[in-house]
Amino acid sequence: MKRCSLGVTFSSALIFIFLYVPMLCVLVFSFNASKMGLTWGGFSTHWYEKLIHNEMILHAAWNTLVLAVTSTAVSTVFGTMLAIGMFRFPWSRRAVGKLNLLLHLPVVTPDIIFAVALVIAFSVIRYLTGLFELGMGSMIVGHVTFQTSFVALAVKGRLELIGHDVEEAACDLYAGYWRVLTKVLLPMLMPGIIAGAMLAFTLSLDDFVISFFTAGPKSTTLPLFIYASVKRGVTPEIHALSTIIMLATIAAVAVMQKIAPDAR
């Protein structure tokens, strides 16, 4: 195996330092006894204890989790169905091009435009039916509208890798449609479905713009809470919250890295 040159190794190390040193700083200052500034006031877990007893943060964390889990579950089902429908149905070449364009639009559309469009749509629906008051329901719908495309793209890529041969072989062995779907297609699609669901879940946890425009007074999420807190000044309590989220993300990625080889 050819070894990397010194320049490649050095540049790679610089990139990793650039990426992870800010996260390391957040981790270090979450244990800083000093409340403000960059002065080290000694090691302390006080901010984690204070964080656990902060009802506003706990409420925001619960809203974030409910929003992410619910929207991910719905968008994973919709995205998987959409990808299978686009791949298996004999669309014309022109129709496939238009469908791909519609599928990519939510991915490339700026969040601010998407958020304004959702607010207008919810306002019209609310005016006509009295439904869709801004709150958790409108946030879930807003997140599903852009998450579905990401899931569909991940599953569609997996479908194109699998091809039609496996399904045709199962049909030649007299397997019915439901059996082909549940015993052949979905198990082989599982890596793509998991990847799409993880991406959708991450995007939901991280989203600020769409959540900001569609949130109600009682549906504050962690990104909204952190944004409001940062305007008053970053405290070690926010560092502690960021550290917990970062460690939870690392743990989730590590678990999926263990699962991924088995899924393949």
SS3 of 79, please?
Answer: helix
Rounded to whole angstroms, how far apart are CA atoms 221 and 139? Answer: 10
Rounded to whole angstroms, how far apart are CA atoms 130 and 123? Answer: 9
The backbone torsions φ and ψ at residue 32, rounded to the nearest 5 degrees and listed phi first, read -85, 125
What residues make up the domain containing 211?
47-263
Instruction: Give CA angle at 176 (172, 179), nearest 5°.
Output: 110
Q: For residue 202, give the CATH number of its domain.
A: 1.10.3720.10
Rounded to whole angstroms, how far apart are CA atoms 170 and 130? Answer: 49
Is residue 29, in this structure, part of any structural domain at all?
Answer: no
- Indicate the helix (H) or strand (E) that contains 175: none
**Alpha-carbon separation of residue 124 from 109, 120, 121, 128, 141 (angstroms):** 21, 6, 5, 6, 15
pLDDT at 178: 76
| Count of structural domains within the chain | 1
Is residue 31, in this structure, part of any structural domain at all?
Answer: no
Is residue 4, in this structure, part of any structural domain at all?
Answer: no
Rounded to whole angstroms, how far apart are CA atoms 212 and 99? Answer: 29
pLDDT at 18: 87
Is residue 180, in this structure, part of any structural domain at all?
Answer: yes
Is residue 82, in this structure, part of any structural domain at all?
Answer: yes
pLDDT at 37: 58
pLDDT at 2: 62
Is residue 54, in this structure, part of any structural domain at all?
Answer: yes
Rounded to whole angstroms, how far apart are CA atoms 237 and 235? Answer: 5
Is residue 103, in this structure, part of any structural domain at all?
Answer: yes
**Alpha-carbon separation of residue 218 from 53, 56, 57, 139, 226 (angstroms):** 19, 11, 13, 12, 15
CB 32 within 8 A of CB 41: yes
pLDDT at 172: 65
pLDDT at 70: 95
Rounded to whole angstroms, how far apart are CA atoms 50 and 20? Answer: 26
CB 43 within 8 A of CB 31: yes
Question: What is the full per-residue pLDDT of the chain (264 aa) written as tens digits?
Answer: 566 677 778 888 888 888 888 888 888 888 888 776 567 778 888 888 888 888 888 888 899 999 999 999 999 999 999 998 888 777 788 888 888 888 888 888 888 998 999 989 888 888 888 777 888 988 999 999 999 999 999 998 888 887 777 776 777 666 777 777 777 788 888 888 988 998 899 899 888 999 999 888 888 898 888 888 777 767 778 888 888 888 887 887 777 777 655 544
pLDDT at 69: 92
Is residue 145, in this structure, part of any structural domain at all?
Answer: yes
Rounded to whole angstroms, how far apart are CA atoms 105 and 91? Answer: 19
Rounded to whole angstroms, how far apart are CA atoms 30 and 237? Answer: 7
pLDDT at 38: 66
